[in-house]
Amino acid sequence: MFYLRKTVKSFYYALKGLSLIIKEEQSFRIQLVVAAVVFFLMFYFPLRNYEKMVLILVVAFVLVLELINSIFERFVDLMKPRLHFYVESIKDVMAAAVLLASLAALLIGLIIFIPYFKS
């Protein structure tokens, strides 16, 4: 059975979390600005549907990975009183994952958009 109140509550909590991350994480705000530019270019140029789908997936992947990185950072910060030598390396590895995803997204974006800028 579909419960509207429960569904609305779930959306409320999701939007609350999104609002929190936008307020507190500069890197997420930067990724959102880049995503907005990509979406503008996506509708400005006559892209094929599969190109649009790839761009949407890549942008979503980077944003979700940024969210996961923020979750890990907060979780790892909870362990700081018992400062384990892996704490800092966990944060570094997650940041590296976001960096690699962002670089891959940049390359994919360039591959898709450069031919449209040339014509």
24, 51, 66, 88: which one is catalytic?
66
Q: Is the pLDDT of residue 85 over 80?
A: no
| Binding residue positions for substrate | 66
Secondary structure (DSSP) of 82-105: G--THHHHHHHHHHHHHHHHHHHH
pLDDT digits (tens, 9 = 90+) for 31-83: 999 999 999 999 999 999 999 999 999 999 999 999 999 998 888 888 776 66
66 is catalytic: yes
| Binding residue positions | 13, 25, 66, 73, 91-92
pLDDT digits (tens, 9 = 90+) for 7-19: 889 999 999 999 9
| Binding residue positions for ATP | 13, 25, 73, 91-92
User: Class of 26-118 per CATH?
Assistant: mainly alpha
Q: What is the pLDDT of residue 119?
A: 76
Q: What is the pLDDT of residue 52?
A: 97
Q: What is the pLDDT of residue 77?
A: 80
Assess contact for 76 and 30: CB atoms under 8 A. no
Q: What is the pLDDT of residue 13?
A: 94
In the chain, the amino acid numbered 36 is A
Give the number of other CB atoms < 10 A from CB of residue 63.
20
Q: Is the pTM of this model over 0.75?
A: yes
